[in-house]
Amino acid sequence: MEKSSEKSLKPRLSFWSIFNMSFGFLGIQFGFALQGGFMSRIFQTLGASEGEIPMLWVAAPLTGLLVQPIIGYLSDRTWNPTWGRRKPFF
């Protein structure tokens, strides 16, 4: 068999297209950074004491570290005719 030398048909983006896309992502990152910067104050508003705030900051990454592999394991053992081998869990 002969190897196909066809290139993918992805359009080439101009400098300004890439710049505009990156600038939009910069705005999204600013939004996440502002939200993250105020989380301690939000935790206090919800009733957390100063001593509980570090545990609350660790809770989300630790939960993801523990829960994500379990969801992946369960997802790998599902079959759906529409989605194939993995059934998405949202």
DSSP 28-77: HHHHHHHHHHTHHHHHHHTT--TTTHHHHHHHHHHHHHHHHHHHHHHHHT
Q: Two tokens at 18?
A: 């890439």
> Residue 34: how many CB atoms within 10 A of its CB?
9
pLDDT of residue 38: 92
pLDDT of residue 20: 92
pLDDT of residue 4: 52
pLDDT of residue 43: 92
Across the 90 residues of the chain, what is the mean pLDDT of every consecutive 10-residue run? 60 91 93 90 93 92 91 76 65
Q: What predicted TM-score, i.e. pTM, was given to this entire model?
A: 0.50
pLDDT of residue 31: 92
Which residues, in sequence order, are bridge partners of residue 84? 80
